[in-house]
Structure 1
């Protein structure tokens, strides 16, 4: 999300076009147009999860845009009426050269961004550095033409933000084994006449303080989001010389930041008026305007219950991506002067009759030791059907990924697919989820495979005990880290009659070494513990080591191009099950990575999942191909 001149631009998924993301422009007359035709795919692979992949500026002859193309990860320059031209070279080493979080500097005829450069063939053989890429194309075949901006070296960095006078720059940095929600450093440096960053130093943050974002205000102050109090709150520093004194702008037990899975995420945007547009909340999020002098926030009126970390501002105009349980993601524009908000792009278009949409119940359950567990419960709902007599419905517990993430309170047609067919869904924001403060997030420390599994089971059993769900017809499903939680639940509990496992972590010992990408390669040290100190714990919790404990039917779905949770883990897991007589199905999708993006893949995966539940729960949904379960 961003502005090019006065125009709002954003990226948008195209599931029917091979799952690519296109760049969309909203012109002055309100027309939306895709800037790049297929097969251009605007998406970065830095840290594999990517981040902000484009930047633009308006010139007299029209917009100048630079973007990352997913297929080759090169940075391209695009202008009206012309074909995109590469600005960066291709490297044959490892995963090559990758770019993210670009910022145009037309006065220097270059774009500043983050470079991720592989130095060998292993997924951890790489370096990341702040760089300047010339806009004239001179680096398209010459890596040496890319200027490295600082000698400061950290394993991970975000893009630099220049002060209004161009004299200083700030960025975030951190090193293994920390993840960015554990601790980051806010770095600051002087911008020299040579265009390099000099005297880089840590200005705030550290190993036990997570700074999620930093921005300059138009008057030259620095605002950043820090969880030093246990919640990501905003702080302002008026004087940068010396250590500076940080003033809290709105001290609340709410989040004004989040986990930095993608480089360039924005939860707040300083405005020219001195106010600050903010995405904030406890659990679900709101879009509001913060007065930094009083600490008061005026929230946007409207139906939206979630806003993503994609804020952009231009003058008094703020654009964001909002959604609700009745609408999918839309581009929302807020006038900071009047407080009026309206949808200006990607307007929600009901693909099915809204009468079939489920209504979520925001619930708080209690787990072991009375700890709170947050969840969204979606009872079965069909406008023309009722359950026979006193029959209780089956329920599927959904475990989100991350695990440092959260299930948003938005319309999810995959949930509606099941609830409209008589199957309830409970999304569990188990201990370790973000949105509820650092203490809640820290519950999963060295407890992955324990707390998440216990919390999901507690919600499932509570629904059964209160008479909402059929105790004999409970299932669990999840993808990535949620896939881990699902399969561990099947190997360690007897709560579920079946499960759906999507692109999961299955073997901790190998996943944390050479079978995953660099960003998460040391994540297990906080989730499980340092391997050198607790090697037995890794084996004890790995589902692959305990495949013989599974007795419930399951469906395993995997992308063959997945470099985060590679298919080799699924293959080893299934080999351990061979001949044990457990009904199961394994579907691997060519051309899919970590998370499915193609329409045909998503359809097949949902139909296979529904068929599993139909067979186990005794349902008979019409028109669904039967999933063949092997033994």
Structure 2
């Protein structure tokens, strides 16, 4: 029986604890012989990430029990944290980064006696210490090759990055000099090495400030000597305005690279001898994405000239590309979004995929039969899927007639409806990055609101990836303008067409989305309230050593050179416009956040005191940039729902009341 109740007050079986328990997704998949391994989040275990090993018989075990936490802090956003190889005897050899000390460890999980993890790299008392990512095991040399991030002082920018070889015998565990550096540190940023099939060459990516990797990178190539040294390093692709997002070796010794030289990240074959390249599948689609973490893999070569590729415009698909004919055949299945992690073994392809009705799961494709199936982290409906939202893919018209891509999730419940004369409240979600994209997948956080009668609009505003470089470049020097205008345009269009209540519009976001939320509250007057999570609030502080090294020059493209447009930095910062905040808000901040430090949020709250605007400021010990712990996520969702209930005048029974100050 369907009951009538006001929007926002519908009872729902999707509570905050359920949403928190399903937060995160499997990532960093790999094949180890006939086994598939991946990293999986554990929100209930203080947010640790564990390694899962799927055996050929389908059983799953973790080779690393708690408290081991397989997660690198490389560039603060992390990167590929593990590698393993099968051996004829003794089982696999595993190396991994543990989050607690950021040391590289080695483990022989099939040898319980003496096979437990032991450190391979030393601790460093300097700054952020030593951090490792994107490892490649080289047992024949007795080494593991990776990318090393080494802090040389206490400042966030006092850091160098090189390719390095770590001995597997543990001799470097207490001796930094035993780590063999493979490259110099002339480039500020590098990814891990990719070795040619014959082991005689290595390729990797490099870039320097002020560029971000989606703005311009260089594809580096070097010869590998018999004793494992790199010589003759040269640049063979890329530049200041060409982003090479990934490089791999094909079995014939040619290089495969995803570059956006055409305006789209397309897959190219590169002759390492001549430097000549061929676009293997010219399309106005993306075959790669923004390199926020080293070790992202959008494509992987198979045999006989076939390549597994993740591609699409907006939504993504897994396809098999024939590099000789250019024919691209997509895998069948319900999945509409593939994460940037692929691995291959023989004719098998393994990835992580989701859809609007399923959360992310580990999927295996047999290229011989064309059969794809979920093999790990399988989606299981924790509640009746009738409570899941039913999203709409929409394109709206923004200022100057520009298109704006968005996913609209109207309120939806199988057993409740609203009075006929009532319009629903809506919350605009601004994604982080800002060079990123909101995927169209089942998210129980969204369902938490829609099943209660609150609509959600995810906006892939100008600057988002997935729609080509021109769309991405809309945000150049216009951050805080285009993103805000696009979010406003979507909200106003929903109100104009009668899909949303203009008086009950909210906005929320984290990180760069937190910036967009705060910037909207100080500049538009449209939103009644907002949820701001671990945000950027003061551009001047952020650009002057107030964040980590990776993004320390990001604002030069998003805002403009500080020396040339200092007033723009001040005028766009929500901190310096706190007197213009037009709606209530809750500010959520991790106290261990190195990317958007809590000091900015604290200063913003101080500036709001006594201004008559209702607000709350919640901080979380042990949380960094993005929340990982179940108890944190539960408290944050409760606070957000209570804010909307109080602002929109709706009931929220059973939800702790958020205390608002003014």
What interval of TM-score do these two structures reach, taking the shorter chain for normalisation?
over 0.9
2:210 is the alignment partner of 1:190: no
1:365 and 2:396 equivalent? yes
Indicate the SS of the match to 1:309: strand
Matched residue, 1:591: 622
Deviation digits for residues 594-628 of structure 1 (CA, Å, limit 9, x no counterpart): 00000111111001100000011111122111111
Aligned residue among 533, 536, 540 for 1:502:
533
5 Å-filtered alignment, 1:300-315, equals 300-315=331-346
Q: Number of residue pairs matched? A: 629
Q: Which of 76, 94, 98 is the equivalent residue of 1:65?
A: 94
Residues 425 and 455, structure 2, Cα contact 8 Å, conserved in 1: yes
Task: Measure the CA separation in 1 of the matches of 2:186 and 2:90.
Answer: 39
RMSD (Å), alpha carbons? 0.7
How far, CA to CA, are the matches of 2:340 and 2:186 in structure 1?
27
State the Cα distance separating 1:29 from its structure 2 match.
Answer: 0.5
Q: Is the contact between residue 129 and residue 151 of structure 2 (CA under 8 Å) also seen in structure 1?
A: yes
Q: 1:245 — aligned with what? A: 276
In the alignment, the residues of structure 1 paired with residue 229 and residue 626 of structure 2 have an alpha-carbon distance, to the nearest angstrom, of: 38
Aligned partner of residue 190 in structure 1, secondary structure? strand
Shift of 1:579: 1.1
- Retained in 2: the 8 A contact 1:375–1:427? yes
Listed as ranges, the matches of 1:306-455 within 5 Å are: 306-455=337-486
Counterpart of 1:203 in 2: which secondary structure?
Answer: strand
Counterpart Cα distance in 2 of 1:33 and 1:327: 23
Between the aligned partners of 1:213 and 1:67, the Cα distance in structure 2 is 22
Q: Tell me the CA shift for residue 351 of structure 1.
A: 1.9
Q: With CA pairs under 8 Å and 6+ residues apart, which has the higher RCO, 1 or 2? A: 2
The secondary structure found in structure 2 opposite 1:458 is: helix
Q: How does 1:467-506 map to 2 (within 5 A)?
A: 467-506=498-537
Tell me what 1:163 maps to: 196
Aligned equivalent of 2:30: 2
Deviations 1:151-207 (A, max 9, x none): 362000000101011111100000000000000000001111231111111100000
- Residue 571 of structure 1: aligned partner: 602
Q: Distance in 2 between matches of 1:71 and 1:249?
A: 43
- SS of residue in 1 equivalent to 2:341: coil
Q: Secondary structure at the match of 2:105?
A: strand
Secondary structure of 1:448's counterpart equals coil
Match of 1:232 among 265, 270, 273: 265
Give the structure 1 partner of residue 287 of structure 2. Answer: 256
Find the counterpart in structure 2 of residue 606 from structure 1: 637
Match among 50, 58, 62 for residue 78 of structure 2: 50
Residue-by-residue CA offset, 1:525-574 (whole Å, 9 max, x unaligned): 00000000000100000000010101311000000000000000001111
Distance apart, 1:449 and its partner CA: 0.2
Q: Does 1:143 align with 2:172?
A: no
1:177 is aligned to 210
2:161 and 2:185 in contact (8 A); partners too? no
Please give the residue correspondences for 1:6-45 in structure 2 after superposition, counting only pairs within 5 Å.
6-45=34-73
Alignment TM-score, normalising by the size of structure 1 = 0.99
* 8 Å Cα contact 2:462/2:475 also seen in 1: yes
| More displaced 10-residue stretch of structure 1: 227-236 or 243-252 | 243-252
- Tell me the secondary structure at the aligned position of residue 310 of structure 1: strand
Contact preservation (8 Å) 1:308, 1:322: yes
Structure 1 SS opposite 2:495: helix
Q: Which runs of 5+ in 1 are unaligned?
A: none
2:359 is paired with a residue whose SS is strand
Question: 8 Å contact 1:399–1:485 — kept in the other structure?
Answer: yes
- 1:518 Cα deviation (Å)? 0.2
Counterpart Cα distance in 1 of 2:261 and 2:569: 31
**Structure 2 residue 555 is matched with structure 1 residue 518:** no
Question: SS at the partner of 1:601?
Answer: helix
Q: Is the 8 A contact 1:421 1:621 kept in 2?
A: no
Out of 142-151 and 521-530, give the one that drifted further. Answer: 142-151
Which runs of 4 or more aligned residues in structure 1 lie more than 3 Å from their structure 2 counterparts after TM superposition? none
- Are the equivalent residues in 2 in contact too, given 1:273–1:316 (CA < 8 A)? no
Q: Does the aligned pair in 1 maintain the 2:306–2:322 contact within 8 Å?
A: yes
User: Following the alignment from structure 2 to structure 1, what is the Cα–Cα distance between the partners of residues 582 and 442?
Assistant: 33
Deviation at 1:49, TM superposition (A): 0.4
Counterpart secondary structure, 1:574: helix
Deviations 1:324-346 (A, max 9, x none): 11111100000112211001100
Unpaired runs of 5+ in structure 2?
Answer: 1-28
Alpha-carbon contact 2:305-2:324 (below 8 Å) kept: no
Is 1:209–1:227's contact at 8 Å kept on the other side of the alignment? yes
Shift of 1:418: 0.3
Q: Structure 2 length normalisation: TM-score? A: 0.94
Return the alpha-carbon distance in structure 1 between the equivalents of residues 246 and 310 of structure 2.
12
Partners of 1:577 and 1:622 lie apart in 2 by: 29
The answer for the alignment partner of 1:208 in structure 2 is 241
The CA distance in 2 between the partners of 1:430 and 1:244, in whole Å, is 36
Which of 94, 98, 101 lines up with 2:127 in the alignment? 94
Contact 2:237 2:275 in 1 (8 A): no
Structure 1 counterpart of 2:5: none
SS in 1 for 2:416: coil
Counterpart CA distance in 2 for 1:69 and 1:329 is 24
- For the residue of structure 1 that corresponds to 2:490, the secondary structure is helix
Matching of residue 131 in structure 1 with residue 164 in structure 2: yes
Instruction: Tell me the residue number matched to 1:77.
Output: 106
Q: Is contact 1:152-1:200 (8 Å) kept?
A: no
Counterpart position of 1:558: 589
CA deviation vs aligned residue, 1:42-63 (integer Å, no higher than 9, x gap): 0000100011100000112101
Q: Distance in 1 between matches of 2:654 and 2:440?
A: 30
